[in-house]
Chains A and B, each alone.
Chain A
């Protein structure tokens, strides 16, 4: 299975709150899990990525939590700001191919 399932489809959070987006994958051969942020009309920008030998990775306000046994990973955005309003995509790939399989995307709106 190549599919990566992402939820929720949309999310509204108050400024200062925590935004949580979840993804699940089927292919246990995946070994690289990035999150991308995309603004309308722009290309995706890498936020943070994790490999399955680590259960959590934090970079600034962004944290990835990874559960290998459940084949799930999530993005937490702490202290969400209106400037974080964008579409977020999780993805998965095998390092030897580099082919990214993207989730369906989550539209985040952070209200002032």
Chain B
């Protein structure tokens, strides 16, 4: 149980285009999902907190107009990178909390590798 999926697993796009990444909790309901970004050989940096039915809250330094987050259901959150540029190339990882089983445990998705040409 407690599986989180992401789609796509990797994507290559041209500079200036937008890319949508989906994060799904497959066997549990996640009222809160988190989006992280990880550059090569670096740690995970929290980008934003996504709450079902409400606006996402962004960490300091993260452009909310560039990284659009939508959490329309208890099992799906999406991250859209708008007008992507090469510096947005990174590994994007989501996580979800299962409020029924635990208030603390976060389950991570497999990540999405974004390459912007």
Contact = CB atoms under 8 A, between A and B. Distances in A.
Contact of B104 (A43, A95, A103, A104): A95
Contacts of A98: 32, 34, 49, 97, 103-104, 106
A100 interface: yes
A46 to B, nearest CB: 7
Contacts of A35: none
Contact of A43 (B42, B49, B103, B111): B111
Interface string B33-62: 010000000111110010000000000000
B63 to A, nearest CB: 18
B104 A49 contact: yes
Output the residue of A36, A45, A95, A99 with the most chain B CB within 10 A: A99
Contacts of B34: 98-100
Contact of B106 (A46, A51, A101, A105): A46
B8 interface: no
Contacts of A97: 49
A101 B46 contact: yes
B113 interface: yes
Interface residues of A, number: 23
Nearest to B48: A99
A36 B106 CA distance: 10
B108 A99 contact: no
Contacts of B113: 41
B108 A95 contact: no
Given A98-B32, A99-B49, A104 B43 contact: yes
Contact of B43 (A42, A95, A102): A102
A99 B47 CA distance: 10
B43 A44 contact: no
Interface in A14-73: 32, 34, 36, 41-46, 49, 51
Interface in B64-113: 93, 95, 97, 103-111, 113
Interface of B: 4, 6, 32, 34, 42-46, 49, 93, 95, 97, 103-111, 113
